[in-house]
Amino acid sequence: MDSRDRDRVVLAAVVFAVLFSQLLLYPGIATLVSALGAEATTSPFAETALDASMWFLVAEFAAYVAFVGVWGAVSDVTGKRTPLIVAGAVAGATGYGLLALVPTIGSIPFEGVLLLRVFQGAMTIGALSLTMTMLMDLGGGNGRNMGAAGIAIGLGAALGAPVGGQLTEIHPLAPLVAATTLLLCVGALVTAVTDRAPTRRRSAGALLEGVRRQPTLSIPYAFGFVDRMTAGFFALVGTLYFQETFGLDAGTTGLLLACFFAPFALLQYPMGALSDRIGRTIPIVVGSICYGFGILAVGSAPTVVLAAVAMIAIGVLGALVSPTTMALVTDIADESERGLAMAGFNLAGSLGFLGGFLIGGTVAGSYGYDLAFLVVGGLEVAIAVVATPAFLRLSLGSSSEGRKRDVRP
């Protein structure tokens, strides 16, 4: 194994650990926010279990939105990734640890808990986004590198959900303690990787202008938004839907979520490599349309078994779309702007998660789960249909260096 392959494995492991720690909290989210003091009598953000869970998740992703661009810009301006990842991981671990200590203090209102969640999210996104940027820096095939990121994201989510469910059965705060430990490990692990960030420094203004001159980045950003929206939808609304509709406990809910995340994880690398050979258009456009209809199938499944089968199907389709979309960002971005370009993608994704929580939670709470599934699945199909003409134009264009801009790396 050469140094590039070794670093790819280590960086994928770091991405895995960050996503794993995040997903640990999801299956038992209602129990966790209750343990952290979410009560309707003390906070307007906790009128119901759904409200409290939604705002707890929204707080983290609002911080992602606010700070991911800052991390990316600082990284590109300074020409460094590793020390920033270490700082983000250690500070994120501190945030998780402080949340775990809240019940022992006993006097922090739920609004204070949400502020701690914002701090934790603002730090954690730096570790995640810049690690993915380091994978962009590796070279050797954008699809392969983003496939490695994708398989790490998928495995982290696939294993984090069921493990988090089991930890919640032991103690509601156990996922927070585990997340604290994992992020401390991330801070140590990333120091073993060579920092390949371009050494040419640029001002923040020049950096922003360079990204602005790449309007085609809006295409992968749009798909990243809607794909992450579906993930946020399942993390919150899907979890509660499965528990209320089929009477599942947290542990079984985690296993059902894993029916999606297992194929989503295991197929990321081969799907990313496939897009290096056949181009980005077919996997993203066709995969997204089928993925949207798959979401509708999950919401209409009459039994747990059929819901599990539908979750497996959309997991396969998600594996087709996700690494290809991230590879498209790498195809378009200049090497000296990768930190900010990936930050933009993660910003779009974080907004997507927020949309999944807010749109899904609001529609489900006001109009029921059926309409919520219809809205989210329909948006996935709609973005693919609307973006198809732009993809076709993009596939016919070439960059100033003479290569197909987004069709192949």
Burial class (CB in 10 A: 0-12, 13-18, 19+), 193: buried
For residue 407, tell me if it sits in a domain: no
For residue 376, tell me if it sits in a domain: yes
Query: Using CA atoms, how far apart are residues 131 and 18, in angstroms rounded to an integer?
Result: 10
For residue 405, tell me if it sits in a domain: no
Percent of the chain as helix, strand, coil, to the nearest 5 = 85, 0, 15
For residue 134, tell me if it sits in a domain: yes
CATH number of the domain within which 188 lies? 1.20.1250.20
Structural domain including 68 reads 3-396
Of 240, 207, 235, nearest to 350 by C-alpha is: 235
Q: Give this prediction's pTM.
A: 0.73
Into how many domains does the chain fold?
1
Give strand ranges (E) for 176-314: none
For residue 409, tell me if it sits in a domain: no
Query: Using CA atoms, how far apart are residues 115 and 351, in angstroms rounded to an integer?
Result: 18
Q: What is the pLDDT tens value at each position of the chain, 409 positions in all?
A: 577 888 888 999 999 999 899 989 988 888 898 888 877 667 787 778 778 888 898 899 889 888 988 898 888 888 889 999 999 999 999 999 999 999 888 778 888 999 999 999 999 999 998 998 898 888 767 777 888 888 888 788 778 878 998 999 999 999 999 999 999 999 999 998 888 877 666 555 554 565 566 677 788 888 888 888 887 788 778 888 888 888 888 778 878 887 887 787 788 888 888 888 887 888 888 888 999 999 999 989 999 999 999 999 998 998 888 888 888 887 877 777 777 788 788 788 778 877 887 888 888 888 888 999 999 899 888 888 887 787 767 654 433 333 344 444 4
Question: Are 143 and 278 in contact, with CB atoms under 8 Å apart?
Answer: no
CB atoms near residue 3 (< 10 Å): 10
For residue 334, tell me if it sits in a domain: yes
Query: Using CA atoms, how far apart are residues 315 and 267, in angstroms rounded to an integer?
Result: 9
Q: Record the tokens describing residue 364, joined without a space.
A: 């489900």
Q: Record the tokens describing residue 132, joined without a space.
A: 């993915």
For residue 111, tell me if it sits in a domain: yes
For residue 403, tell me if it sits in a domain: no
Q: Give Cβ neighbours of residue 311 (< 8 Å, ≥ 6 apart).
A: 256, 257, 259, 260, 298
